[in-house]
Structure 1
Amino acid sequence: MSGPENCSDFAYGQVHDAGGLSMTVSIFADRPHLREELREDIGAAGLHVRECGPVAELLAGKPRSLGEVIFLDCPSLDAASLAALSRLDMRAAHSGAHLVISTSVDALDDVFGCCDQSNPQILVDPSRSERVIALGRVLALRPNLRLRELNEEDRLTLLRLTEQVGRIAERLEKLHADRKAHGGSAFRLESPGNGYHGETAHGDRLVRSARLELPEPRLVREIIRHRQLRAKFFDGDLFADPAWDILLDLTAARAEHARVSVTSLCIASGVPPTTALRWIGQMTSAGLLKRVEDPADRRRAFIALTDQAAEAMAGYFAETGVRSAELV
């Protein structure tokens, strides 16, 4: 990839598709077979490919519009490409373009650290079907698009590809309903218990007399270990619960005052990295997780529980009365 100084020349067209015009897509990947697969899939969706070439072409030539969607494949990154990716993320955020990035587990932390503005879809060693799902998610965000009519074979293929996303959506829909039912929060507010005092004669606000504490990290790690042992005797998919595994891992880390990288959290989730990233993104939107920049290196970022999520986890352990590692 060329040096980062040319990144300031990035320019994107405004997204105006209310008239039903199909979106335009640019593809930048160094692997020829990947470029061709993406071109075929984008064309099959009835969209127009504006550019398709190696990553170096992203920085070459005069400023031009790259369209409403940019697919970027970067399985490895050097210093120049890190800077370029940061600029691309900023430009995509300002223009409203949708950025889809495929990368590797080894480069995931670097890619995640660079992309803090455009909320891109990050795919880790994706299959072709996962890239099609990513395209479908982009299309779902754009109203008034006219897509070609699907035949029965297309519909069956699309159903298989989106089955996994559908399962996630069902859980997220319930989470969204819970948030609306409880004042837009992802947390349930119960009536004050013994740990609270009501208003005083002076009209002071309701306050807690004692803050609930998280359990010892050793206990949480033991619970995690017991959960992982189930996969030794049963199909792991039977017990897949990435949201809870993510919360448990971050609860232990918070109690240990440890930082958790996005790669580490993907591993802890027990599901493929691309699926884990979707959960992390949705849980962040729900106010459960937050992105924490590394003060020593702005190119790195970590994931942590929000204060409300930590409080909810402390309340959960207090309510269940867990005091030993017997609960799994």
Structure 2
Amino acid sequence: MFSIFKQECESMQANFNYEPVCDAAGCQLSVTVLADRDHVRAEMREDALAAGFRILDCCSLEEYAQGPLAALGDLVLVDCAQASADALALLARLDMRGGKAGAQLVVSTTMGALDDVFGCFSMSAPQILVDPARAERVIAIGRVLARIPNLRLREMGEEDRLMLLRLTEQVGRIAERLERLSPGQREGGGAFRFESPATAWREQGQDYVVAREGEGRPRLPDAAVVRRLIKARQLRARYFDGELFADPAWDILLDLAAARAERQQVSVTSLCIAAGVPATTALRWIGQMVDADLLVRVSDPHDRRRAYIALADSTADAMARYFAEAGVGDLAVV
């Protein structure tokens, strides 16, 4: 299904063009394109132009880092395939500048460099894509465009309208599934809210502390029990198409529940693998679950360039109550 979806996106690239993207003053918005791989940089430049942006800078990461400090584009497209020290230093600078300036970042990387790249971003909330096809980059630019008010398409055919409808439906399904998680998690509200940070949120420099379960409150099962549940879920793929059972949010919660019981930290790469979906999709789920206060991002106290993901205390409590009510420990499969 996903492959068909990407093919449809690729077939639209040639004719899905936007009017120039302008701010309230009528000035065309700009894009900074940074990539060491020549063919990737050329593709990103072409797609940004087709989307209506003005090219501000288009060069390699090294050229940009060594050049004079220049204004950052309203959109920043970055491809970082190798997590060298210089590249990571530049990403951290872009995160700080993008967060302060309100620029929107789309960063593509590889699975091998994901943990290092993810750890560079704490201020700018970028879209991070893992080993993306060109169509996935186009979709990411489309998400940026969707946040710009009063945007108009030059012309939309029926095929384009159907494509946008499918995109909307997919985003809607993600939102609905997160909304279903939220009511049992906490009172009063859906997954997507604007509010002050919850008590589970950890700012940079704060250590993540596992709260102790109080008297009379359920505790998470032993890690071995949760790992058996995970293994039982994975066994289904031997006998059925794995896409029938894709449920990344629940797989993420199970993996983190087992890790919490083991007092183990979970890297972003490990969690993406546990989610059982493409890494870019898993990152999107993780990001939305962090935004929904289901998960927390935890800085490595020994290396501030790295970050881990953990259950929020309230989520751990909800998981423990679920396991207790479901009789986990007595059941072989959940």
* Alignment TM-score > 0.5, same fold: yes
State the superposition RMSD in angstroms. 2.6
Q: Is it true that 1:42 corresponds to 2:37 in the alignment? A: no
1:296 paired residue number:
302
- Say which is worse superposed, 260-269 or 40-49, in terms of deviation: 40-49
- Aligned-partner Cα distance in 2 for 1:87–1:133: 25
Residue pairs, 1:60-75, within 5 angstroms: 60-75=66-81
CA deviation map 1:104-133 (0-9, x unaligned): 011000011111111111100001111111
User: CA, structure 1 residues 101+150, in 2 after alignment: closer, same or farther (shift >3 Å)?
Assistant: same
2:249 paired residue number:
243
Which of the residues 128, 131, 141 maps onto 2:134? Answer: 128
Which of the residues 184, 198, 201 maps onto 2:189? Answer: 184
CA deviation map 1:256-284 (0-9, x unaligned): 00110000000000000000000000000
Which of the residues 297, 312, 317 maps onto 2:318? Answer: 312
Q: Name the aligned partner's letter for residue 74 of structure 1.
A: C
User: CA, structure 1 residues 248+302, in 2 after alignment: closer, same or farther (shift >3 Å)?
Assistant: same
Q: Name the aligned partner's letter for residue 247 of structure 1.
A: L
Shift of 1:325: 4.7
What is the TM-score when the length of structure 1 is the normalising length? 0.82
2:16 paired residue number:
none
- Aligned-partner Cα distance in 2 for 1:255–1:285: 23
Residue pairs, 1:1-328, within 5 angstroms: 17-19=23-25, 21-156=27-162, 158=164, 164-172=170-178, 178=183, 182-184=187-189, 209-328=215-334
User: CA, structure 1 residues 172+144, in 2 after alignment: closer, same or farther (shift >3 Å)?
Assistant: farther
- Aligned-partner Cα distance in 2 for 1:49–1:157: 27
- Say which is worse superposed, 145-154 or 309-318, in terms of deviation: 145-154
Shift of 1:17: 2.1
Shift of 1:304: 0.3
- Aligned-partner Cα distance in 1 for 2:294–2:186: 17
- DSSP 3-state at the match of 1:223: helix
Q: Name the aligned partner's letter for residue 251 of structure 1.
A: A
- Aligned-partner Cα distance in 2 for 1:143–1:28: 26
- DSSP 3-state at the match of 1:298: strand
Runs of 5+ in structure 1 lacking a partner? 1-14, 187-207
Shift of 1:318: 1.0
Identity %: 61
Shift of 1:147: 4.0
- Say which is worse superposed, 209-218 or 292-301, in terms of deviation: 209-218
- Aligned-partner Cα distance in 1 for 2:118–2:295: 15
What is the TM-score when the length of structure 2 is the normalising length? 0.80
Whether the aligned pair in 2 keeps the contact of 1:20 and 1:145 (CA below 8 Å) is no
Q: Name the aligned partner's letter for residue 228 of structure 1.
A: Q
Q: Name the aligned partner's letter for residue 288 of structure 1.
A: L
- Aligned-partner Cα distance in 2 for 1:179–1:92: 35
Whether the aligned pair in 2 keeps the contact of 1:22 and 1:147 (CA below 8 Å) is no
